[in-house]
Structure 1
């Protein structure tokens, strides 16, 4: 129950820009990774965000679904994921507006989709730079990472890099444009918040 509460809080925080102007999602990229193309798009009732399939933005990876024991969470975007059993580096290429400041977030939830209870560990890159190490053995009920970033070009590459024997995976990608006066005038990156969803007695952010 605590995990559900924390996930709902995360969704509320990340969608605050949308909630200020609920009908305006211009410039948003909101991907339910691994979702079949024919089920896209859909509106998430918790956030009001319109999720689309990632299938047109990456040619590698396979779709997986969390174990049905996790269905009780009732958070549709996290019930499927894209996992990458082949290759060392698999990348999304996302169209963005150059010199525009974005809030970029990604959610990673294993959910025993393969029935092995083997939690993945891999690296996440933004362009050529390592963003985070995603250790789902440490954060078994999922983790969320986010960054404020101003791209230097009109495309943005997000890559999952295999570092051991387990397969990288990703549940959602969410990108929101800011006004350029929100975060400085120069291109660059600023790590923001990272959420860990766990069963401990204290909340960790």
Structure 2
């Protein structure tokens, strides 16, 4: 009887942990772009505790690849694969969101010589019809914007601007309280971020419950 009781307690603790995990990330959208079909989806990134899913349900175009093997250890799992777009001038993700909600939208484009060409692509990102930012992948790229969608569908588009091929590694979308980063003039692009701390650790989820750092 005591052994059975102990097993019940373990099951209860595991169940509570799973419920907490789901509730803590409620509304989070974390996409591993280019995740291979034989890899688990969704999965939990061990370093951050965030749950990532394949992007395959959010876009119908593009091809998938992974960064150079020798570079993988420098990046978290969601940044080791890419979806690239050799065809078409404009390729868009269609993501369901809540109209009128303040969102942090974060994208990562880690080139990692995935195509073996050793040539850093450059392309534009748009939110719907509106220009967001130009991506120059000569450095590891992370771009962020605070945006309030005007509909329940968010179109995040990669637009070819030259001869190089647009690609993306990860998309992260976080709902925020509407009194966070208030603006009356549209979306807010990240200019810079400073950590006023002596700590060498970067604050992220779970310490930052909204995962906006």
Which interval holds the TM-score relative to the shorter structure? Answer: 0.7 to 0.9
* TM-score calculated relative to the size of structure 1: 0.79
- Whether the aligned pair in 2 keeps the contact of 1:146 and 1:194 (CA below 8 Å) is no
Aligned pairs (5 A) from 1:35-184: 35-38=35-38, 39-137=40-138, 139=139, 142-184=140-182
Q: By percentage of residues, which structure has more strand?
A: 1
Query: Bigger radius of gyration, 1 or 2?
Result: 2
TM-superposed CA distance for 1:24, in Å, is 1.2
CA distance in 1: counterparts of 2:165 and 2:42, whole angstroms: 27
* TM-score calculated relative to the size of structure 2: 0.76
CA distance in 1: counterparts of 2:148 and 2:90, whole angstroms: 23
Unaligned runs of 5+ in 1: 1-20, 196-205
Structure 2 CA distance for partners of 1:98 and 1:186, relative to 1, 3 Å? farther
Task: Please give the root-mean-square deviation of Cα atoms over the aligned residues, in Å.
Answer: 1.8
Unaligned runs of 5+ in 2: 1-19, 194-213
CA offsets, 1:37-74, max 9 Å, x none? 45211100111100000001000000111011102225
Aligned residue pairs, count: 172
